Amino acid sequence: MLTSSYSFKKFISERDGVMDNDFKNCFLSIAMPRFIWVCELYERENFKKDSYCSGLLLIDSTGDGKSLNSVILYVVKNHMFTHNGLIWDKEEPIEIFPFKMQTYRNNLKGDWCKWTTS
């Protein structure tokens, strides 16, 4: 879903006890463009409505979409990969506690904000 990085970081900062604090602090310090694509990854057997995702892919919505330069962050289970716009920050993924995040709902256009077109 398309959302603002401000809204997404606010969502992350308000979730205590769900996400590992070290990961949360690392995540909140990553520079992001104004708008991002949020892609949540779920394991089939654990997927439920309003559940927790086990992976996350964040993409710069203003990027050209033709290269990995648009990828900001990729988290799957207990590994995190970050990209600074030029290169992957580390060749080896950063080890983190198993990733867990509540389903994100605040996209730019949705029922939560009563957004309508005229």
For residue 61, pLDDT beyond 60:
yes
> Using CA atoms, how far apart are residues 111 and 97, in angstroms rounded to an integer?
33
Q: Are 109 and 115 in contact (CB under 8 A)?
A: yes
| pTM (global) more than 0.85 | no
User: pLDDT per residue over 27-60, tens digit each?
Assistant: 888 888 999 999 988 887 767 766 788 888 899 9
Query: Which letter does DSSP use for residue 95 in this model?
Result: E
The pLDDT of residue 105:
73
Domain ranges of the chain: 2-104
